[in-house]
Amino acid sequence: MSQFDRAELDEMVSRWVEENKRCEAAGDWKPLAQMYTEDATYGWNYGPQQDFMAVGRDEIRDIALGQEMFGLEGWQYPYQEFVVDERSGNVIGLWKQIADATRAVGSNYSVHGIGGSWFRYGGDFQWSWQRDFFDFGNVSALFMEMITDGALSAGMNARIQRSVSGEKLPGWYPAGGAPVPLW
């Protein structure tokens, strides 16, 4: 017996995809925050040393969708597929990461492989929980290629400079030290 209505979950996914497309076109992902419950959490692991966690809709808007997406304006994250479990309310969305910058041969810079988001539905067309996963090695390789080719945007260069400065940013914790468990 289902705990969640499948049609409602499918509608949530549809709304999510459309809002993502709108935000990508605008270069501003912060409006996606309206699609999370007030007490939602959103996090990811960034290699063996770092976890990220935004707690609550305000941190999701300001930090996860604001600070952490800074420099990625113009990038697209098209979803490739969704897996929906109406028993648990869990949804897995698999996506690509495609830069607006192009190589000399004309192809867009893109992360090799696929990334994804694991969502938990909180009702009322809002997520209560999200965890992203991606291949850190492929992401790092792409950014190194873009640095070498001089293909990073001014925003992304500023983001990298901030990261290498050692500045402690909100939401980042030593692996395992985030305020709520990643999984």
Sign of CA dihedral 64, 86, 20, 123: negative
pLDDT of residue 181: 66
Average pLDDT of 146-169? 85
Lowest mean pLDDT among 26-30, 42-46, 111-115, 167-171: 167-171
Residue 78 has pLDDT above 60, yes or no: yes
* Residue 126 confidence (pLDDT) above 80: yes
**Count of positions (residues) in the chain:** 183
pLDDT of residue 165: 77
Contacts of residue 28, Cβ cutoff 8 Å, sequence gap at least 6:
73
Residue 182 has pLDDT above 70, yes or no: no
What's this model's pTM, rounded to 2 decimal places? 0.91
DSSP code of residue 61:
I
Report angle CA 131, 76, 162 to the nearest 5 degrees: 70
